[in-house]
Amino acid sequence: MSEYRECRSLALKGVRLALAAALSLSVLTATAGDRERAKRIHDRLAGVPPTESVLADMAADINAGNVEDAAYTAMQNRHFYDVTIKNMVMPWTNEARTVFAPLNDYVATVIGLIRDDKDFRQVLYGDVVYTADGFIPAYSPNDNAHYQALDDQDANLKDVLVEHRQSALNSELPAAATAGVLTTRQAAKAFFIDGTNRAMFRFTMINYFCRDMEQLKDTRRPPDRIRQDVSRSPGGDSRIFLNNCVGCHSGMDPMAQAYAYYDYTYDEETDPEGQNGHLIFNAAGETDPVTESRVVEKYRINADNFPYGYITADDHWDNYWREGRNAVLDWGYAPVDPSIDGSGTGMKSLGKEMASSYAFAECQAKKVFRTVCLRQPTDSADRSEVSAMADSLKSNGFKLKKSFAEAAVYCSTDVQ
């Protein structure tokens, strides 16, 4: 009998040890899974591995079901701003759409707006620019030396950037004429230089609506505001205009009229690349010597192409795309200013019109998704997530850091 009890005791002990070992293994496995997910989130957001203490904090949040908190911890790393956001935004600031360009006021301002959890819609209408106080050379609206110095010194953008009013740092730009990053020096250098100012409109649509002109053209809109420089019979064939050109210009030209008082000036002989140029704005009482009005000369060039075309007289704009196929952009999705309803005066009011659309919110969600998940949204689940992120922007005051956290949570289970 004693031998039986001893064998039974040993058997029960073995069972307990096996159960304990299995429980211990499951705990270790869960912890390893949390740590792996935490590392993936940190890698996607900051682009560098987390420290051991940060990894432990993030894993603990994930284990507790607070995955978004883990994402916010990752966003405290300087490289979220210096690398991830910088690389996301840099292509928006030049026509070549390259990431290999110096830091500039456009990029710094986007970084600051995201870091400070500002309403991201200000990117198209705010009187705001971010600089680094105390750095030499100081900010100047006439060159990029200030930001080049920040780049050269590998400055911690998370810590050094300070918000300012554009109008306070640029004596030629009244507060009413500011339009977020679109009136930064870099945007002017890239999109107001030479040309007809239509580049500013096109690249705003690419960068903030995620659509190029081919995707927006609507040949059924009225052509009454198309400027004189657009031939109505390119190559002697009016069908080209009616079937192609009118589709973009009928919507673009009435809205691009908002930029009629802006230009980028530089010395073409000594500075052919415009490195030392600056944005100009014709305020009330200032006139262009060619147009004899506030409208800059480029709005009247090549008038002989079609003399009966529209002659720009001021900066009043109208949004013909609130009707027709582009009504799907849902222009009144999240109104910045309810008084702006498809028409207005100047660049700031047009920025508010654009920032109020669903297309604006959806585009920011798509770009964040692509940046964090390292891929385009591909299937119905991805598209539903992007839609949810866009709606979340609207309900959370357009704080883009929240979108980064949501994308990190969604894609943290990706195994690719």
Q: For 287-308, how does the pLDDT look when each residue is reduced to its tens digit (9 = 90+)?
A: 999 999 999 999 999 999 999 9
Structure confidence at residue 110 (pLDDT): 98
Structure confidence at residue 414 (pLDDT): 79
- The answer for residues whose C-beta is within 8 angstroms of residue 113's C-beta and 6 or more apart is 120, 122, 123, 126, 128, 130, 400
Structure confidence at residue 343 (pLDDT): 98
Contact, 89 vs 111, CB < 8 A? yes
Strands 316-318 and 278-281: unpaired
Structure confidence at residue 43 (pLDDT): 97
Structure confidence at residue 8 (pLDDT): 45
Structure confidence at residue 254 (pLDDT): 98
Structure confidence at residue 362 (pLDDT): 98
C-alpha Rg value of the chain to the nearest Å: 27
SS3 44: helix
Beta bridge partners of 99: none
Indicate the angle between helix axes 358-373 and 2-46, nearest 10 degrees: 120
Taking residue 30's Cβ as centre, other Cβ atoms within 10 Å add up to 13
Structure confidence at residue 196 (pLDDT): 98
SS3 264: strand
How far is the C-alpha of 273 from the C-alpha of 271, rounded, in Å? 6
Please give the C-alpha separations between residue 194 and each of 34, 168, 338, 355, in angstroms, as whole numbers.
54, 26, 34, 26
Please give the C-alpha separations between residue 46 and each of 70, 274, 388, in angstroms, as whole numbers.
12, 34, 23
User: With 0-12 CB in 10 A as exposed, 13-18 as middle and 19+ as buried, what is 67?
Assistant: buried
**Regions of the chain short of the pLDDT cut 50:** 1-5, 7-8, 10-30
